[in-house]
Chain A
Amino acid sequence: MSTLLNIGRRVGRHLLASLPALFGVVLFTFLLMRVLPGDPAAFFASGPNAGQAEMAQIRETMGLDRPIPEQFLRYVGDLARGNLGQSMTTGQPVMADLAERMPASLELTLFALVLALALALPLGIVAALRPNSLIDHGVRFLCTLGVCVPTFVTGLLLIYVFYYLLGLAPDPTGRIDIFAAPPPGITGFLLVDFLLVGDLAGWKAAFGQLILPACTMALFVLAPLARMTRASLLAVLGSDFIRTARSVGMSDWRVVVVYALRNALLPVLTIIGIVFSTMLGANVLVEKVFSWPGIGSYALDALLASDYAPVQGFVLLIAVIFVMVNLTIDVLYGIVDPRISLK
């Protein structure tokens, strides 16, 4: 009970502390979008020779004829009611657009994160167990390489090898083959939905589309995860309680996995949080390469069309997710290491 209370208190305190930053994000995004070049009224007018009256009409419906502070207050009011404005290019509310595209981005990011962890944790552990061995240097080399190749180059080279040369991967555009029937939207995650309706062929097709972009992202974030695992495990392995555990004759497996790893996970958790938020923001590039219908490509298209509202919505959404991820990590800290919540 007291643990739950403690967690609740931590969540509350963290949420409060992040409010000013969130407000700053709202204000900053708003100002940034207002100085974007190009008059959206002119952009959405019927044609280049649209009359002044029509332009004024559009400005009025968009609220662009009001003073900036008033526009900001209206914007905040709309936000409070969950209204992110209207996208001019798709003609839909931004909230609906984002909600529709969010699963695509989340599925890709989560899958890539799991993939990266599945690779990085064992690699980091092995490297820490044999420091300065051949395998340690190999892992270090792989990590160094991983951060040096830009995601858009990795993605394109993967397409070349697996689509053009080997023919293993499907046409690298979108989440699903254009001729395939999409599953009913239960969770929005194609892999989960196909499993729920028991469509194995569909699942395989969706997996085929997902694996290349996910690998691209995973390779890029492999380095921070593996290196942090190695460093923190190495530090723990040198401590007294590990020496004691070894000296009483525990098996290596038990010492490393149960004793050392659990204590080494804390810094890794921090990095996972950072990596996840970075991925959500940076998958604009990957989504562009693979024509992935996620929120990143949505925001990019809107930005290039000087459509304010979707970009604002996107940036805000990512910032909120960022805060949420930090909060989750903070709560997880308390579970992984009870000493922290005692403070």
Chain B
Amino acid sequence: MSATLRHAGWVLRGNPVTAGAAAGALMLVTIAILAPWITPYDPIASNVPAALQPPSAAHWAGTDQLGRDIFSRLIAATRLDLGIAVSAVLLSFVAGATIGALCGYAGGRIDRYVGRLVDVLMAFPLFVLAMALVAALGNRVENIVIATALINLPFYIRFARAEVNVRRHAGWVEAARAGGESHVTIVLAYLLPNILPAMAVQISLNLGWAILNAAGLSFLGLGVQAPTPEWGIMVAEGARFIGNGQWWLVAFPGLALMLAVLCFNLLGDGLRDILDPRMRT
């Protein structure tokens, strides 16, 4: 284990941008975990006399139309936004990798049917599909997770299918089969771990996308409901005040979104460069 860590450290020293992104992602996760204890103010308690104050020493990111401290709301929202993104990506990863790996391994009719299904999903405008799903399933946070997971699913299925497909006649797979392993064991214990590094890249890039997606949905009024602190809703609420010059209501949640997405995207890019230098663009 310590050898692995040492190796990771060595790799990161050669890639300062990736190291920075990894540190940023780690910080975001820490903030998300510690959120309830580190907010300077109550994120949902309104204080109308102090409404719409620009950033100051007391309120680092200013206050919103109800006098709530925006900085505290940003911190509190980190937990919800990261939670949604991580659970959605995990869900689509587990389901997509399993389905894709089974299809790539089995081939034949099942593979063709699943391929058709994936084609149908891909023919949808994905964001609109997510909107419709949240509306259909009900305006709840769980449903944002499900909708985001579903629109990511095709990519994981295709990816896992392609990766497994090229490996299914590899020597070590044949050896496992000759050794009497069952098909399920071969897929789950041999093939899946083998494609995991490549999928890690996908996961990291996907996390950023999932955050944007969830924030976009709640910006439209789907999913998370006010007064819950969430970056997308905070932007939506601040949108009314941008024409009056009260920029901090939009700018700070926007900055939080940008930083979160940036960290995961850079991390994904860095992972890809390390794992597969040919893909570097």
Contact = CB atoms under 8 A, between A and B. Distances in A.
Interface of A: 18, 20-22, 24-25, 28-29, 32-33, 35-37, 144-145, 147-153, 156-157, 159-160, 163-165, 172, 227-228, 230-231, 277-278, 280-282, 284-285, 288-289, 299-300, 303-304, 306, 311, 314-315, 318-319, 322-323
Given A21-B116, A149-B258, A164 B242 contact: yes
B220 A24 contact: no
Interface string B233-246: 00110110011110
Contacts of B229: none
A22 B238 CA distance: 39
B258 A21 contact: no
Among B116, B123, B131, B208, the one with the most A-chain Cβ atoms within 10 Å of its Cβ is B123
Interface residues of B, number: 46
Given A300-B220, A304-B221, A323-B123, A150 B257 contact: yes
Interface in B206-231: 208, 212, 215-216, 219-221
B35 to A, nearest CB: 21
B114 to A, nearest CB: 12
What 7 A-B pairs come out closest when comparing CB atoms? A281-B125, A24-B120, A153-B254, A231-B281, A148-B261, A318-B125, A148-B262
Contacts of B128: 281, 284, 299, 314-315, 318
B242 A160 contact: yes
B131 A300 contact: yes
Q: Is the interface of B mostly helix, strand, loop or mixed?
A: helix
Contacts of B133: 32
A148 B245 contact: no
Given A157-B250, A281-B125, A284-B127, A32 B136 contact: yes
Given A25-B120, A25-B124, A227-B281, A164 B243 contact: yes
B135 interface: yes
A288 B123 contact: no
Given A157-B250, A303-B132, A21 B125 contact: no
Nearest to A164: B245
A150 B259 CA distance: 11
A237 B83 CA distance: 44
A329 B195 CA distance: 32
Given A28-B120, A32-B132, A149 B220 contact: no
B42 interface: no
B135 A159 contact: no
A19 to B, nearest CB: 11
B258 A319 contact: no
Given A37-B136, A319-B125, A160 B265 contact: no
Contacts of B129: 315
Interface of B: 116-117, 119-120, 123-129, 131-133, 135-136, 138, 208, 212, 215-216, 219-221, 232, 235-236, 238-239, 242-245, 247, 250-251, 253-254, 257-258, 261-262, 265-266, 269, 281
A303 B243 contact: no
B132 A315 contact: yes
Contacts of A22: 123
B11 to A, nearest CB: 20
A315 B120 contact: no
A333 B257 CA distance: 38
Contacts of A165: 245
B280 to A, nearest CB: 8
A319 B124 contact: yes
B86 to A, nearest CB: 18
Contact of A280 (B125, B242, B265): B125
A1 B126 CA distance: 39
13 contacts: A24-B123, A29-B132, A35-B136, A156-B238, A156-B250, A228-B281, A230-B281, A231-B281, A278-B125, A284-B131, A300-B131, A319-B124, A319-B125
Given A318-B125, A319-B123, A319-B124, A153 B257 contact: yes
B235 to A, nearest CB: 6
B261 A25 contact: no
A322 B242 contact: no
Contacts of B135: 36-37, 303-304, 306
A22 B123 CA distance: 8
Nearest to B281: A231
Given A32-B132, A285-B220, A319-B125, A144 B254 contact: no
